[in-house]
């Protein structure tokens, strides 16, 4: 038996033993090997019917009554509570709405405001809610640290937030955050980090980095776009202050589905949003000229929620309700899939034609594999023509995302085989 035949047979055995294999049938799929769920998740099969009900009955028949009778008004908190266990949070701390970019802005500005308030008060303002040290009387918190390798929009938003709050923006690599904080952490107000690097798939050490931020008396803001729904996050367990994430990747909420904002319970009474819209008012229908924030995570809301995409997301989250479908099970399969893909690439692709940028260590790997190769843009076009869909990031990176709910081991073997044929053809 050739190595290629052996790996194909192993893939069949792994698929037959996969405890999540049945979940694949809950998605709309075809003969394409779809490895781009880290950009846009596949469509859960029951979502179109649910959206049709929202459009035809809730909107078409009930109309304005649906804000109450169909639960539209409370959807941002209700769906936030559906997402909360997927990111390791108790109920009442996640609200859904707006885009990731808007939520990054809200979270980062609010974090700086709290840090500067701590310094002005000369007390540990974070203390009543949990962890971290105080800054002492008169301390000036006028610096924001941002992941130097961040997704561009996070950097743009961080720069704007810094200008708005009178801070200096300091880009640093995630691994350098502890030393940067040791250097002048008494000036740091907030640190914005990505849990998983969007280019390489590297998983950063959320517990250790959060602890380092807290030890400096600053606030930790995490972007979970490439981790939520793919691996354990542990927001409550690790004392994360604020977090944001999108829902159209591993949560399969659909193109442009709304993002979410996590505000740790102990900080909610201090969360001062830079976008105080009427939906976050304590009396939204009081129509008062002065703003009074609502209690709890509702403070993270701004304007009228996007009901169609919001309820499509709610329907998509039903796939997590199945027996045996858990973040732990998804993570175990994710690691097995990416391990197997790397094995197949190593066996099929000639040496020197593709280099993995994704860490081999499980503790440092998200749910994607990034390969560097010459002519990556053209290679990806040819892969897509042959029915293997990943994506390309300039100048030379092929990205393959593995969504364990619907990607199987035969998909993985086929992708590596077609890649090898494309590179040598």
Is 399 designated active site?
yes
Q: What contacts 58, CB < 8 A, 6 or more positions away? A: 66, 70, 72
Residue of 106, 126, 202, 249 marked catalytic: 249
Of 36, 223, 241, 391, the active-site residue reads: 223
Q: In angstroms, rounded to a whole number, what is the distance separating the alpha carbons of residues 407 and 315?
A: 20
Q: Which of 105, 219, 248, 250 is catalytic?
A: 248
pLDDT at 425: 81
Beta partners for residue 202, in sequence order: 365
Q: Which two tokens stand for residue 289?
A: 């000229």
Provide the pLDDT for residue 5.
81
Q: Are 239 and 214 in contact (CB under 8 A)?
A: yes
**Measured CA distances, 352 to 20, 355, 366, 372, 418 (Å):** 35, 7, 24, 10, 17
Q: Could you give the 3-state DSSP secondary structure of residue 229? A: coil
pLDDT of the residue at 126: 53
Cis link prior to 395 (omega < 30° from 0)? yes
DSSP string, 361-397: SGGGB-SEEEEE-TTHHHHHHHHHHTTEE-EEETTTE
The answer to whether 248 is a known catalytic residue is: yes
> ∠165-166-168 over CA atoms, to 5°?
110
Which one is catalytic: 82, 399, 414, 417? 399
Tens of pLDDT along the chain (425 residues)? 577 789 999 999 999 999 999 999 999 999 999 999 999 999 999 999 999 999 999 999 999 999 999 999 999 999 999 999 999 999 999 999 999 999 999 999 999 999 999 988 764 555 434 444 444 445 789 999 999 999 999 999 999 999 999 999 999 999 999 999 998 889 999 999 999 999 999 999 999 999 999 999 999 999 999 999 999 999 999 999 999 999 999 999 999 999 999 999 999 999 999 999 999 999 999 999 999 999 999 999 999 999 999 999 999 999 999 999 999 999 999 999 999 999 999 999 999 999 999 999 999 999 999 999 999 999 999 999 999 999 999 999 999 999 999 999 999 999 999 999 999 98
**Residue 121: what pLDDT?**
79
Cα 278 to chain centroid distance, Å, stands at 27
> In the prediction, which pLDDT does 138 show?
54
Query: Which pLDDT belongs to residue 192?
Result: 98
CA 357 to mean position of chain CA atoms: 20
Q: What is the dihedral of CA 328, 332, 333, 337, to 10 degrees?
A: 150
CA 252 to chain CA centroid, nearest Å: 12
Q: Which of 118, 367, 107 is nearest to 221 (CA)?
A: 107
Q: Is 249 a catalytic residue?
A: yes
The question of whether 402 is a catalytic residue gets the answer no
| Catalytically annotated residue among 27, 34, 105, 151 | 151
> On the CB side of 307, how many CA atoms lie within 13 Å of its CA?
17
């Amino acid at each position: 038996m050739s190595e290629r035949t052996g790996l194909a047979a192993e893939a069949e055995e792994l698929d037959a033993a996969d405890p999540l294999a049945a979940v694949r049938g809950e998605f709309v799929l075809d003969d394409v090997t779809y490895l781009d769920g880290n950009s846009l998740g596949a469509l859960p099969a029951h979502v179109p019917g649910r959206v049709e009900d929202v459009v035809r009955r809730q909107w078409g028949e009930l109309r304005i009554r649906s804000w109450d009778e169909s639960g539209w008004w409370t959807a941002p908190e209700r769906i936030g509570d559906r997402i909360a266990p997927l990111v390791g949070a108790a109920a009442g701390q996640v609200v859904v709405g707006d885009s990731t970019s808007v939520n990054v802005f809200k979270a980062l500005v609010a974090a700086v405001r709290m840090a500067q308030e701590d310094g002005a008060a000369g007390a540990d303002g974070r203390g009543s809610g949990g962890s971290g040290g105080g800054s002492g009387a008169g301390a000036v918190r006028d610096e924001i640290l941002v992941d130097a390798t961040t997704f561009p929009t996070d950097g743009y938003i961080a720069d704007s937030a810094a200008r708005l709050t009178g801070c200096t923006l300091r880009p640093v690599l995630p691994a350098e955050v502890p030393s940067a904080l040791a250097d002048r952490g008494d000036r740091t107000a907030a640190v914005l980090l990505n849990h998983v690097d969007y280019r390489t798939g590297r998983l950063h050490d959320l517990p250790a980095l959060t602890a380092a931020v807290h030890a400096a008396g600053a606030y930790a803001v995490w972007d979970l776009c490439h981790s939520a729904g793919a691996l354990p996050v542990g927001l409550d367990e690790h004392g994360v202050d604020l977090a944001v994430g999108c829902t159209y990747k591993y949560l399969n909420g659909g193109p442009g589905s709304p993002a979410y904002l996590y505000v740790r319970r102990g900080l909610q009474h201090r969360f001062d949003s830079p976008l105080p819209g009427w939906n976050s008012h304590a009396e939204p229908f009081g129509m008062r000229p002065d703003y009074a924030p609502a209690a709890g995570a509702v403070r993270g809301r701004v304007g009228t929620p996007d009901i169609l995409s919001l309820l499509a997301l709610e329907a998509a989250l039903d796939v997590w309700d199945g027996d045996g479908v858990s973040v732990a099970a998804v993570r175990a399969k994710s690691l097995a899939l990416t391990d197997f893909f790397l094995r197949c690439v190593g066996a099929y692709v000639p040496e020197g034609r593709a280099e993995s940028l994704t860490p081999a260590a499980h503790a440092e790997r998200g749910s994607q594999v990034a390969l560097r190769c010459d002519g990556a843009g053209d290679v990806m076009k040819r892969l897509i023509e042959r029915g293997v869909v990943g994506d390309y990031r300039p100048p030379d990176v092929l990205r393959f995302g593995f969504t364990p709910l619907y990607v199987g081991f035969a998909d993985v073997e086929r992708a590596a085989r077609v890649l090898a044929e494309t590179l040598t053809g």
